[in-house]
Chain A
Amino acid sequence: MDGPATGAPAVNGATLGLPPTQTAASGMPLTHGLAGLLLLADSRLPAGGHAHSGGAEEACRTGAISGPEDLARFLRGRLATAGRVAAALAWSACEAAQAFSRPDKESREPGSPASSGQARVADPETAWRLLDAEADARIASPAQRLAGRTQGRLLIRTARRIWPSTALETLARAVPDGAHHPIALGVAAQAAGCTPDQAAMAAAYTSVTGAATAAVRLLGLDPVTVHRLLAELPYDSVIAEQHDWSALPAHAAPALDLLAEQHLRTEVRLFVS
């Protein structure tokens, strides 16, 4: 087994040792948004996520997941498909919320990163409904759409109290039944001070952690083994800048659709999805 890597702490130490005034090229402190990211990605965030397994419960029931190896394949596939789509939606939502929150419209003119997004072409409520429709078009399974909206609604409710923001209020008004979770996450991330990349990271990460935790609970897997799987996943590979909502990634996962629909029809179930 690998012991604690001896090289890594030195590298991290060098980074962490920088004076807090040190800034990145953007002019922001290097730690900008990180606290919000940690809070949003924490499984203890009281937003209902703990009751969703992302198809893992049904996969455990049918035997598609029975141990760490197939759990690893499940998580990799989930990240590469649903995770990629969630990350793109969260990125876009966070960027749009940033654009809406800028007091000065001029700052959205060409040259500013927000200018290429679609947020500026519409009023905020219309824009949120449009992005939500783009999410809908990427989620064929009604069971998954319902689970996504439920989680989104709970997250908005929670985030509004933690990080009150105009964008969260507007989103809640625009999609009263609950926006899809990655959109809620992106807007909450903006309210929490995160960048679009951080919002996308939170979405990519939470797209697999619920399933991993569910497998630990349901199969009694060694939690350290499972956390190692989580640590080895290529989160960065599913995060990219997005500037055209209609062209956002749309990676489908037919097995997840089947699992989600079967899950709703399974009599004994512990998780909502």
Chain B
Amino acid sequence: MTKALVRARAILRTGLDDRGLTRIETIRSDPPLTLRQTAPGEVHLVSTGAGPLGGDHLRLDVEVAEGTSLTVRSIASTLVLPGAGRSLMEIHVYVASGATLVFAPEPTVLAAGCDHRMTTAVTLAADASLFWREEIVFGRHGERPGRCHSRFDATAGGRPLLRQEFVVGDPEADGSPAVFGTARCVGSTLITTETPAEGPKSEPREAEVAEGVAVLPLAGPGTLVSALAADAVELRKRLSWGESRVSVQAGSPARATVGLRPPASRFP
């Protein structure tokens, strides 16, 4: 690998236009992180160039302004490759009051020999809405993955909502029936929900579980769909099922469903 180490920082910000509709206020690409607006309030990440490669340090900042809605997707999966040292992808997100963010890129695929670090920090205002999907594929077809350590932190209204780390390629955890079992992919979708109303009348939100997927109401105002699967297609199918269950459970409140509809799956 003779490629120079990449430092990139892309920025995405929304604002309200004169009619009170969402417009993309700032869309700053920094290759290989390239952003393209594909519809009103919708942006696709278009990777220009391979990677990240070992040694690359990529950062994406997303700020969803009060009362606006933003959807972020990607054109293709991200293939993490080995290189000179560790690659880093960090994402910093702020979703303001009354704003909605749907973040649903294609999976991150860990190629053999990679050494990748992902950190995501999501700060939600108390009544912000979020749909955040993250999928990690352990190696290309028939390939043993390199190493990856991801950390996701979300706070809502200043309180911790979800903090979770995944370590792939750690001999202590790989293949453990307690961690990933025989799965080759792990994925999760965090969906904010109404704060459970206080009082005896509020129905406790029930967890649901099916083959390789669980719908897990969090202690705070959110539900996590957590899935394991043998391949990316099965993983997406399981997550989509769980995501649909959250919409069902959320019932009528517009906030929980409208604008948070899972993005159309690329897979049947």
Contact = CB atoms under 8 A, between A and B. Distances in A.
Q: Do chains A and B touch in the complex (CB under 8 A)?
A: yes
Interface of A: 55, 59, 64-65, 70, 73-82, 133-134, 136-143, 145, 234, 237, 246, 248-259, 261-262, 265
Nearest to A55: B178
Contacts of A255: 176-181, 183, 228
B164 interface: yes
A257 B219 contact: no
A172 to B, nearest CB: 19
B165 A250 contact: yes
- Dominant SS among interface residues on chain A: helix
A258 B165 contact: no
A77 B179 contact: yes
Contacts, number: 132
A261 B224 CA distance: 13
Given A79-B172, A258-B212, 12 more contacts: A70-B177, A73-B175, A80-B170, A133-B159, A137-B163, A237-B172, A250-B153, A252-B164, A252-B165, A253-B178, A254-B226, A255-B183
A186 B177 CA distance: 28
Contact of B178 (A134, A138, A256, A262): A256
A90 to B, nearest CB: 17
Given A59-B178, A73-B177, A261-B207, A133 B226 contact: no
Contacts of B162: 137, 140
B214 A141 contact: yes
B163 A250 contact: yes
Contact of A133 (B160, B175, B177, B208): B160
Contacts of B178: 55, 59, 73-75, 77-78, 81-82, 253, 255-256, 259
B217 to A, nearest CB: 6
B166 interface: yes
A234 B177 CA distance: 18
Interface residues of B, number: 39
Contact of B176 (A76, A134, A143, A261): A76
B225 to A, nearest CB: 10
Nearest to B161: A137
A254 B227 contact: yes
Contact of B160 (A64, A134, A143, A252): A134
Nearest to B218: A140
B176 A74 contact: yes
B151 interface: yes
B16 interface: no
Q: Which residue, A81, A139, A254, A261, has most C-beta atoms of chain B within 10 A? A: A254
6 contacts: A81-B178, A250-B163, A252-B226, A254-B188, A255-B176, A261-B216
Contact of B173 (A77, A141, A249, A262): A77
A248 to B, nearest CB: 8
Contact of A138 (B163, B173, B183, B209): B163
B98 interface: no
A137 B170 contact: no
Nearest to A211: B178
For the complex of A and B, list the 5 residue pairs with the smallest distance between their C-beta atoms, beginning with the closest. Answer: A77-B176, A137-B160, A136-B219, A77-B178, A250-B163
Nearest to B156: A137
A142 B177 contact: no
A254 B160 contact: no
Given A74-B177, A77-B178, A77-B179, A250 B164 contact: yes
A117 to B, nearest CB: 17
A140 B219 CA distance: 8
B220 interface: yes
Given A137-B160, A257-B214, A258-B228, A65 B207 contact: no
